[in-house]
Amino acid sequence: MKDEKPDKQDESPWVVVARYSEIGFMIPAAVIVGYLFGLLGDHLFHTHWVYLLGIVFGAVAGFVSMIRRALQASADEDKKEDEHDGR
């Protein structure tokens, strides 16, 4: 079985739209999840500030995830260029 990704020309436009829209949802989703965990922490520890740590942690996690995704896409593009030049 082939485990290779399809070429850029073979990809559906919906696949490309999904890939780029994922980046737009990554950071807000991570912030919301961090906020919810912070609220849970506030409830468990009877505080009123842990949600701020959750927001900051979620934002950092979202940015790290976005940067990883961008580096992976860049590496994939470089690999395809090298394969194209090596024909």
- Taking only the tens place, the pLDDT of each residue in 16-61 is 788 778 878 989 999 999 999 999 999 999 999 999 999 999 999 9
- Taking only the tens place, the pLDDT of each residue in 58-85 is 999 999 998 898 888 788 777 777 776 7
Are the CB atoms for 32 and 49 separated by under 8 Å? no
pTM score, whole prediction: 0.71
